[in-house]
């Protein structure tokens, strides 16, 4: 009898372990659980990414205005970003010689398409509005990602998430400055860019659970460069020496930012690392003041704070929900 109970207990334990393994496998496949969890390193990667992203926006503003010569079109700036990022990633691939797996081409194409449109619109917007405003508006991307998860992933959105979305969208309306003679048309470019980044975030999270960072970067930049090469034919002009240097720096910094971002998402839950991406706004303000002597006004500060509050509430809710789901799953399998 004791042997039978022991056998049943062992079998039950094996069954529980099997269910737990399947549960974790499903979460990893959906990009919900990191493969190599390391929260501290993930936060460090995300903070370093914000330094690089803010720097690319300053370079994009310099290239899109007369700071380095005759302003370059946003499509040409985008082409330079992809060209030199791709060359940098190729060099890194030859040195690191990473292993490649079967890529999800459809997901890569979706990510590259929305990423290309998003950054192009972002680069265009920073030439006309303060970098702090453009950066703050793009913090709406988690809100768009949440909304897109309803029709695409079939997720249910609770009241806290809708409240977070309403708060963040209110901040965006503040930054848009609606009113006679004050409406920021260029801010709509940043708003559309935020939507594109929301789609891209979903794709990156899923890809990072299946493929290595170098493979993701290589495929994404190859696809982006193909799109950018076609588009730049219609707006090309010969850059100055300073503009060439700016384009090279832009591409390499963007590749570094993408590398850090993907590594951050692969090592921690999205809800943990996303709030640290808001440091981009701090660095953007510092860079904008140091180079262009531009400081955010009261409206910009209020709007940015409201957006960050909404996005932070969403990130907190996602982190809390993730921990609760993990505890319930383990408890149910005990």
pLDDT in tens, 114-152: 988 988 888 888 888 788 788 888 778 777 877 776 776
pLDDT of residue 334: 54
| In the predicted structure, residue 6 carries a pLDDT above the cut 70 | no
C-alpha distances (whole Å) from 315 to each of 64, 84, 159, 180, 301 are 33, 33, 14, 35, 21
Tokens of 5: 């109970």
* Between 271 and 245, the higher pLDDT residue: 245
| Reported confidence tier of residue 182, pLDDT bands at 50, 70, 90 | very low
Kindly report the pTM of this predicted structure. Answer: 0.72
DSSP calls for 174-207: HHH--STTT--HHHHHHHHHHHHHHHHHHHHHHH
Residue 21 or 132, more confident? 132
Give residue 34's pLDDT: 56
Would the pLDDT of 212 be above 90? no
- Helix residue ranges, H only, the chain: 2-29, 39-64, 74-96, 105-125, 131-138, 141-153, 159-176, 185-208, 213-232, 241-267, 270-273, 279-292, 298-333
Q: How does the average pLDDT of the chain come out, rounded?
A: 80
pLDDT at residue 25, rounded to an integer: 47
Measured between alpha carbons, how far apart are the two ends of the chain, in Å? 22
Q: How far apart are CA 225 and CA 327, in angstroms?
A: 44
Q: How confident is the model at residue 328 (pLDDT cuts 50, 70, 90)?
A: low
| pLDDT of residue 257 exceeding 80 | yes
pLDDT at site 171: 83
Name the band, by pLDDT with cuts 50, 70 and 90, for residue 23: very low
Indicate the range of 111-120, 202-211, 229-238, 313-322 predicted with least confidence.
313-322
Could you give the CA distance from residue 111 to residue 291 in angstroms, rounded to a whole number? Answer: 32
Q: Answer with the residue of higher pLDDT: 262 or 68.
A: 68
Contact assessment for residue 118 and residue 196, using Cβ atoms and an 8 Å cutoff = yes
The larger pLDDT score, comparing residue 203 to residue 186, is at 203
pLDDT-derived band at 19 (thresholds 50, 70, 90) equals very low
């Amino acid at each position: 009898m004791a042997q039978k109970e022991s056998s049943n207990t062992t079998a039950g334990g094996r069954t529980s372990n099997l269910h737990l393994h399947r549960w974790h496998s499903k979460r990893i496949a959906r990009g919900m659980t990191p493969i190599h969890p390391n929260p501290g390193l993930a936060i460090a990667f995300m903070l370093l990414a914000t330094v690089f992203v803010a720097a690319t926006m300053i370079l994009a503003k310099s290239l899109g205005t007369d700071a380095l010569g005759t302003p370059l079109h946003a499509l040409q700036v985008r082409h330079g970003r992809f060209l030199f990022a791709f060359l940098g990633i190729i060099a890194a691939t030859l040195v690191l010689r990473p292993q490649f797996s079967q890529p999800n081409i459809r997901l890569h194409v979706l990510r590259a398409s929305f990423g290309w449109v998003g950054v192009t619109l972002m680069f265009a917007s920073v030439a006309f509005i303060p970098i702090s405003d453009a950066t703050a508006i793009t913090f709406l991307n988690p809100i768009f990602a949440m909304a897109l998860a309803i029709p695409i992933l079939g997720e249910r959105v609770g009241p806290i998430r809708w409240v977070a979305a309403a708060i963040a969208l209110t901040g965006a309306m503040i930054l848009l400055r609606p009113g006679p003679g004050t409406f920021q048309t260029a801010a709509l470019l940043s708003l559309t860019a935020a939507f594109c980044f929301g789609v891209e975030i979903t794709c990156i999270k899923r890809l990072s659970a299946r493929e290595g960072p170098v493979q993701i970067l290589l495929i994404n930049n190859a696809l982006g460069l193909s799109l950018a090469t076609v588009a730049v034919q219609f707006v090309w002009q010969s850059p100055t020496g300073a503009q060439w240097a700016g384009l090279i720096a832009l591409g390499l910094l963007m590749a570094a930012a993408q590398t850090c971002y993907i590594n951050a998402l692969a090592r921690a839950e999205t809800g943990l690392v996303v709030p640290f991406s808001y440091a981009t706004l701090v660095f953007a303000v510092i860079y904008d003041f140091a180079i262009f002597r531009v400081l955010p006004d009261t409206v910009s500060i209020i709007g940015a704070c409201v957006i960050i509050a909404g996005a932070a509430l969403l990130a907190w809710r996602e982190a809390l929900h993730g921990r609760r789901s993990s505890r319930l799953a383990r408890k149910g399998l005990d």
